Amino acid sequence: MRFSVPLHIIDLHEDGFHPLLDITVFNKPFKVVLDTGASKTAFDKNLLLEVNEIALLNASDKLSTGLGTNTMESFTATIHDMAIGKLKIPEFDVAVLDLSTINIAYEQMGHPQVLGVIGGDILMQYKAVIDYGKQVIKFKT
């Protein structure tokens, strides 16, 4: 079965564009960045704990790269009942990092706060097809 989900393309003021998706985690709506360059889906530690103070974070011995540093402290968490449009993901492991600098930059540009990024792990597993022209992403289950 294939599901289409709208993309919200935001302008980064002469620094390109980011596609955002609406997702639901812990029965709450969030925006996330669709990041084809991210190997793994990652959520912001502070925002995650703010919406679910009992989120179980497991320390990770992997170094996080690609975010301007390779020494960032990272964790993992198992997210239950995540939804991206009609795509229901009952259980999924995500990286958990301090992504506050992204949200500070977004806020300064007048964009909404994001929970994190959807990365290649979800995009591959659900055979994502991104259509920038139609501003949708399609997932297959």
Domain ranges of the chain: 2-140
The CATH code for residues 2-140 is: 2.40.70.10
62-102 pLDDT, tens digit each: 544 444 445 567 888 899 889 999 999 999 999 999 999 99
Residue 120 burial (CB count, 10 A): 15
User: Of 26, 4, 38, whose CA–CA distance to 78 is shortest?
Assistant: 26
Whole-prediction pTM:
0.85
